[in-house]
Amino acid sequence: MAKSESNTMWGGRFASGQDTLMESLNASIGFDQRLSIQDIRGSISHASMLRETGIISKSDADIIIAGLKKIQLEIESGDFKFSVKLEDIHMNIEARLKELIGEAAGRLHTARSRNDQVTTDTKLWVREQIDELMKTIRLLQQQLIISAESKADWVMPGFTHLQTAQPVTWGHHMMAYVEMFERDYLRFYDARIRLNESPLGAAALAGTSFPIDRQHTSDSLGFDRPTANSLDSVSDRDFALEFLSVASICAMHLSRFCEEIIIWSSAQFGFVSLSDEFSTGSSIMPQKKNPDSAELIRAKVGRIFGSNVALMMVMKGLPLAFNKDMQEDKEQVFDASDNLSISLNVMVKIIQTMQVNREALEEAASSGFSTATDLADWLVRELNLPFRKAHHITGEIVKICELKGCSLSSLTLEDMQNIEPRITKSVFNVLSVQNSVSSRSSLGGTAPEQVIKQVLRWKKILNEEII
């Protein structure tokens, strides 16, 4: 079998190199090179701490830090050459550092291991992604608020079981998603708090005998504190699992919204029309304008869910502390983050550019006897009937409408009085969809005045964050 040369970074224990198949299985540089900037940042922090504690000389530390900064420039310019033979991002950078500065490079790894190093790198990367995703969620909420405010009194059907239930307003529907994505925002915020402990200095699993200053590296890397247990520090992937879990819930919310947009944009509904920029055509049917942007976002949730489940399966049987299985975390986290990021950003543009058909919304809002609950409520208020009795009477009136092929508002008073003689003509005041939505003025209701109150509340929240 073909064999490679022994890895000079750890090969002293080995008489020969790995089989090339093992080399391919073991190497992670194909994907963990995405951690290069975080790895250099962590290494600079570690070298600075080693200098401040006197573990290595000032001159060696200064040379190391200068070399690391040069490597960062090489990576950013695309001039850095990554090698599969050096396995991972850590060894690739250390090998290049040795080429640049000589034997002093070997002092950088004093009092640390790749175990605490990779956990630190990955935490830094995930933290950055959380910050960006939270910003994009805010952009999405802002677009939803703009749409809600401009169409606060546009009536549309509200559905349960995808059947017409009661009239609502477009503004109310958009604000529902503002609340939904706020929970995602807060889950990311909460996950970031738990993530923000520095594992650097835990070394392989037991800590180190060198007099390191973990608070120094923690502070310089923007963590709240160092982790408290070295075994847990290097074996913890909860932060990645929590990131994937929150990403999955957020993706699910996007998928639900996309499902509605896809339905609304169909010819049978005609509620909305996506812009050309976020639609595609058909290779055979020239009339088609497909909402593929929404369909693709809807599909992304499968990949993100899959990443979440995959890492759960990787971690479920691992004893303490570090195991190479954990190398499988990064591709799952990278893929989920990439897909959630593009999905959120596209959704911002979809809402920003989507055209809404007010006439189609209003026509659909009055279909399916959507004001039947308003009739039942009127019977309770005006005739002092128990709600269950009012519910039954309303059901009988709806049945007459179905037989006559008319709406509740066009049924004659006489027909209604045949079911309940005490009904008066004032009942027609509650049977229009406009009156229906206006009457739903309880806190959190669909009435335009409530929508505007919620819009103003949210504008205040977002403005205070900016300030």
How far CA 383 is from CA of 137, 377, 442, in Å, comes to 48, 10, 22
How much is the pLDDT for 287? 81
pLDDT digits (tens, 9 = 90+) for 384-428: 999 999 999 999 999 999 999 998 888 999 999 999 999 999 999
User: Residues 98-129: pLDDT tens digits?
Assistant: 999 999 999 999 999 999 999 999 999 999 99
109 labelled catalytic? no
Taking residues 446-451, what's their average pLDDT?
Answer: 96
Return the minimum-mean-pLDDT range out of 196-200, 278-282, 445-449: 278-282
Quote the pLDDT of residue 412: 92
For residue 95, what pLDDT is reported? 97
pLDDT tens digits, one per residue of 205-216: 999 999 999 999
Active-site residue flag, 161: yes
pLDDT confidence of residue 1: 47
Identify the pLDDT of residue 60.
Answer: 98
Q: Which of 282, 367, 410, 441 is catalytic?
A: 282
**pLDDT (average), residues 155-174:** 94
C-beta atoms surrounding 267 within 10 Å: 7
Average pLDDT, the chain: 94
- Who has greater pLDDT, 27 or 343? 343
Give the global pTM: 0.91
Of the candidates 77, 161, 209, 283, the residue annotated as catalytic is: 161
Calculate what percentage of the chain has a pLDDT beyond 70.
96
pLDDT value of position 49: 98
Is residue 354 predicted with pLDDT exceeding 80?
yes
